[in-house]
Structure 1
């Protein structure tokens, strides 16, 4: 049969259309699964960021500030200004990594052009919520409560799902509601352990601050989901980290300094922090992992949608305690970083709840090709 006869044959045309649709769906499925993998890697690298920034904030001048030599610093300064300063140093390092990456790939011009666009401004607003507010709350929560605060901050996908429903009338079906319930239950388990009789006095406050971080990231995910869909992930993360770093240094720290009784206080501390070589080595590493994590989070969002992107990134509720335990507890040998079996169970439960919010977990394990043929028939 000639090519012309084939084209004129209805059966041939139908079979060709079915094959093309199957190929397209298989390609889309591979793209989707790749997005899930990238999202999971963003959760893993965020756990590594958490471990290395905590290590950095225990070395050099930071060891003096948090140790016996901190007598000259007020309690407010130690908890909040140092927490904000740690975030600022990390975000500046992360922004430098992002700018270097853009420079090497010839994207600096795109970065400056994006700032003046609507998606770019949306990412900047998201960065203000996720950086000066959520990131600082995250670091402060870890300082107050230890790694037990990390799964609480991972409530952000559940919060994002609720905010999406309230603000944008996005779907919040029964499955997603079950996922939210699982996350809340896991956080209650973690909270009940953390504020038990043997817990430090600061743990209760740390868990409350961790919830602030979850709220900030929930809002960021909803807003950034719009902007990142139209901007290269390497550009959007640069906008995010530069905005966050500068806002921390020039907006948040002066405000905290004013509250503490002297605007110059945080800048004096910043000068010491940036010149503390033994600590800056680890901040450079934490900044690198923060850059990679957020870039993969934004990229995952663009490949799977903001809801699932937040969900897969939210697996840092498991990877965070794991990385802190391995680096700080096992390798460095610092006490206080081990978790009980119930805490590990709650962290894994949180990660599963996050996944349920975004999708039916069974969809990860099977894709019936005959179903595709039926849909295209």
Structure 2
């Protein structure tokens, strides 16, 4: 009888470990998918800001806008339009799933407050900084912002005591190194004049997203990740549209009426809004997967997997803008592919000890 009890106990432990392992693997897959969707979000957003009224605003300054307005106000507006579209997708999805009531109830709770804080940092601050940096320095900012996994891992260790051993640190270091390898393809004699400032602004985006990923992972461990992302996108879209864009217009001396006119023109530009609708959808799916993945496998691993957007960003831009759009300058050199392979290896090291793969084969 005692032997039977021990055997059952052993089987229970094995089953429990298998469930834990499968849960972790699912979290990793979801987090990796978020990186792919973020790549398409970046590509569709860039395409949207080249169509319709945006083509007039950026095309040789035909609209008579100042350089500072083009650099900062339009970037904030582009981020606002995208996040508003993403919020509409998120609210629609929550309504379809019958969770819209939970969305309003969660706004009044402590986890809901945590998500609002994450949205205010990752939305108006980081998202706008990302778009500004893209306009100033080009695609090199994508891998620079991929420093957010390392930042999020460190913050996760400090704030929430999440495990961060030497092996994970080495893996994160490899991911960061591969990001710089990919980013090095954008360095050359034809680099934009504002590259240094653009890189600094990109680092601000990385800091904000690192904090957001850390805090959001904590928040979505207490509430449904689908509700969490609806809160995130709704707060981000509204704060971008109603606070940041008007504030930038006031700071740069153009006034509220100016920002209102720009906003109306942006939302009524059909050729551009098609792409913003797609970028908003991809942003919604990406952030939902990111939040969900972080809650399942921890901020360090979840953000490292999401950091693959440092490859998917340039790759998706090449597909959407270069191949589909016929625009020049979006091809990928061999070093980008090499960097992607190295990044995958870095993620593997963060997720597990690679030697365990051989040990499993030996015991099979």
Work out whether 1:79 is the aligned partner of 2:67. no
Correspondence 1:34-45 to 2 at 5 A = 34-45=26-37
Listed one character per residue, the Cα deviations across residues 96-153 of structure 1 (whole Å, up to 9, x for unaligned) are 1111111111111100000001001001101111111111111122222332321111
Aligned in 2, Cα 1:53/1:188: closer, same or farther, shift over 3 Å? closer
1:18 Cα offset (Å):
1.1
Listed one character per residue, the Cα deviations across residues 165-216 of structure 1 (whole Å, up to 9, x for unaligned) are 4445544432233234334444554565544333222333322222111111
> Is contact 1:314-1:351 (8 Å) kept?
no
Q: Could you tell me the TM-score, scaled by structure 2's length?
A: 0.92
> Is contact 2:80-2:241 (8 Å) kept?
yes
Query: What is aligned with 2:86?
Result: 94
Partners of 2:155 and 2:250 lie apart in 1 by 32
1:366 Cα offset (Å):
6.6
Aligned in 2, Cα 1:365/1:95: closer, same or farther, shift over 3 Å? farther
| Alignment equivalent of 1:286, drawn from 279, 286, 298 | 279
Work out whether 1:62 is the aligned partner of 2:54. yes
Partners of 2:357 and 2:312 lie apart in 1 by 22
Work out whether 1:211 is the aligned partner of 2:199. no
Query: What is aligned with 1:5?
Result: none
Partners of 1:74 and 1:253 lie apart in 2 by 16
Greater Cα offset, 337-346 or 56-65: 337-346
Query: What is aligned with 1:298?
Result: 291
1:70 Cα offset (Å):
3.9
Aligned in 2, Cα 1:229/1:169: closer, same or farther, shift over 3 Å? closer
> Is contact 1:147-1:337 (8 Å) kept?
no
Listed one character per residue, the Cα deviations across residues 20-75 of structure 1 (whole Å, up to 9, x for unaligned) are 22122212222221111111111111111111111111000000111024451111
Partners of 1:120 and 1:257 lie apart in 2 by 30
1:369 Cα offset (Å):
10
Larger Rg: 1
Work out whether 1:326 is the aligned partner of 2:319. yes
| Alignment equivalent of 2:124, drawn from 128, 132, 141 | 132
Q: Could you tell me the TM-score, scaled by structure 1's length?
A: 0.89
Correspondence 1:196-235 to 2 at 5 A = 196-235=188-227
Partners of 1:84 and 1:197 lie apart in 2 by 28
1:359 Cα offset (Å):
2.7
Other structure's SS at 2:254 match: coil
> Is contact 2:162-2:298 (8 Å) kept?
no
Query: What is aligned with 1:120?
Result: 112
Partners of 1:263 and 1:295 lie apart in 2 by 35
Other structure's SS at 1:151 match: helix
Partners of 2:358 and 2:342 lie apart in 1 by 22
Query: What is aligned with 2:267?
Result: 274
1:297 Cα offset (Å):
0.9
Query: What is aligned with 1:142?
Result: 134
Greater Cα offset, 313-322 or 58-67: 313-322
Q: How many residues align?
A: 363
Query: What is aligned with 1:162?
Result: 154
Listed one character per residue, the Cα deviations across residues 221-264 of structure 1 (whole Å, up to 9, x for unaligned) are 11112111011111000000000001101221122111110232
> Is contact 2:152-2:299 (8 Å) kept?
no
The runs of 5 or more residues in structure 1 that have no matched partner are 1-8, 372-377
The runs of 5 or more residues in structure 2 that have no matched partner are none
Greater Cα offset, 30-39 or 286-295: 30-39
Partners of 1:318 and 1:190 lie apart in 2 by 7
Partners of 1:244 and 1:282 lie apart in 2 by 19
Query: What is aligned with 1:338?
Result: 331
Aligned in 2, Cα 1:11/1:171: closer, same or farther, shift over 3 Å? closer
| Alignment equivalent of 1:317, drawn from 310, 320, 327 | 310
Work out whether 1:46 is the aligned partner of 2:38. yes
Query: What is aligned with 2:145?
Result: 153
| Alignment equivalent of 1:257, drawn from 249, 257, 271 | 249
